[in-house]
Structure 1
């Protein structure tokens, strides 16, 4: 078997399909991650709210999405959101219907799951900073918004990068779940290739190697960001010594 020929581009190989699947995997990850980070902050603030119903709702949110298997969350959201959209469009325009794309369903499901864990990353990072920074900024007359933007946020990222970096790696791997709803990611394309060529070992090895490269590159990027975030702190400690 000409294994290298299986990776050729064009009609003779699966190289272009795998490249397309890689693009879908990366696109879904890059679209999901910023939304998940934003939701992580919102959920943490909801947990710290002075209003008890808001706190209860936020804790219920994290409990549900941390407890349910990711694949079950994806299936429920995909099929149930389709039913809700059809009901709404049928109510607004009788006889009409809209379909929810697998990409959008995957984005929503993964954002909800990752943000449930991300809220704990935000909580740990804020605890590492301490309340003294906020009290000092407020004593200088800074508004809560400017206190967070100018004082807390620059310090928060230094503590949050390792946690969010780990969640990014988890997100990269969890995108493989969307293959079950027929989104043409790496796993879905590899499955099609296997069904056609009957070479499961080769294609699983190929996509496994791709995921390893993605994780290694992500880990290196995370370490670079950590070093840059800590550079100013390290210099200050050296100068103070």
Structure 2
């Protein structure tokens, strides 16, 4: 009964704080995922671009952010990006003062990391589809953009979803890193509860169960997407 009271939505319980932290964790993940997805396609396009500058930038970005630990990337973005923003702003507006929000820094850092990983997923999916599909679409009179969105992209998704599903699970777990830059996410509120109640085993167990539940829900969502994008006759 004592443990249940610790999770109540009251002054003595920590239920409302944990729920607030969960909302921040999910908001961070859902804000990062679409940005990382778009940037993944842009980086994959850059690797196959005709411009050597675009190819160099895409490969350099992917190499750097795949190599750095996520924690180090987050710290660099949070502290050094603020310095860069101040320098750029002061060039135009000497008296202006713009501070980088910790939540925004987390989104930027995680976007850079997971777009670097996602670009390899996109590139592999494009290679799995093959150039023949785009050439066949072109022979039917479709423009290059129409061929990509109507013919190539739907087939790429079938190859991308399993890998992006794994990246989504990694992203959910890596959101816990933002607690070190004072973002009140699920892990930070859990640590607050532990420091107050001195019950680490209970609250870490609750935290683990929450992440397991998120993983199970994500797995269900991934299975539904895979079934939806499967060729007719295979998804049933």
Fold shared per TM-score above 0.5: yes
Q: What are the equivalent positions in structure 2 for 1:58-137 lying under 5 Å apart?
A: 58-137=58-137
Secondary structure of the structure 2 residue equivalent to 1:232:
coil
Preserved contact between residue 39 and residue 115 of structure 1 (Cα < 8 Å):
yes
* TM norm structure 2: 0.96
After superposition, the CA RMSD in angstroms is 1.4
Aligned length: 235
Match of 2:22 in 1: 22
Q: Kindly state the Cα deviation for residue 231 of structure 1 after the two structures are TM-superposed.
A: 4.4
Instruction: Return the alpha-carbon distance in structure 1 between the equivalents of residues 130 and 88 of structure 2.
Output: 46
Deviates more, 1:50-59 or 1:186-195: 50-59
Could you give the per-residue CA deviations for residues 164-187 of structure 1, whole angstroms, max 9, x where no partner exists? Answer: 111100100000000000001110
Distance 2:77 2:132 in 1: 42
Hey, what's the Cα distance between the residues in 1 that align with 2:231 and 2:63? 36
Contact 1:85/1:97, CA 8 A, preserved across alignment: no
Question: Cα deviation per residue 1:10-55 (whole Å; 9 max; x = unaligned)?
Answer: 2111100000000001011011001101000000010001122221
Q: 1:197 Cα shift?
A: 1.1
Cα distance in 1 for partners of 2:47, 2:100 equals: 31
Is the contact between residue 129 and residue 156 of structure 1 (CA under 8 Å) also seen in structure 2? yes
Alignment correspondent of 1:12: 12
Q: Does 1:160 align with 2:167?
A: no
User: What secondary structure, in the 3-state scheme, does the structure 2 residue paired with 1:98 have?
Assistant: coil
User: How far 1:95 sits from its partner (Å)?
Assistant: 3.2
* SS of residue in 1 equivalent to 2:234: helix
Q: SS in structure 2 opposite 1:12?
A: coil
Cα pair 1:35 1:111 within 8 Å, conserved: yes
Structure 1 gap ranges (5+): 236-241
TM-superposed deviation, 1:155 = 1.2
Alpha-carbon distance in 1 for matches of 2:231, 2:22: 34
- 1:39 and 2:49 matched: no
Q: Which residue of 1 aligns with 2:138?
A: 138
Aligned partners of 2:214, 2:16: CA distance in 1, in Å?
Answer: 18
Question: 1:233–1:48: structure 2 CA closer, same or farther, 3 Å change rule?
Answer: farther
User: Where do 5+ consecutive residues of structure 2 fail to align?
Assistant: none
Q: Give the C-alpha shift of residue 69 in structure 1.
A: 0.3
TM-score (norm 1): 0.94
Alpha-carbon distance between aligned partners in 2 of 1:163 and 1:179, rounded to the nearest angstrom: 26
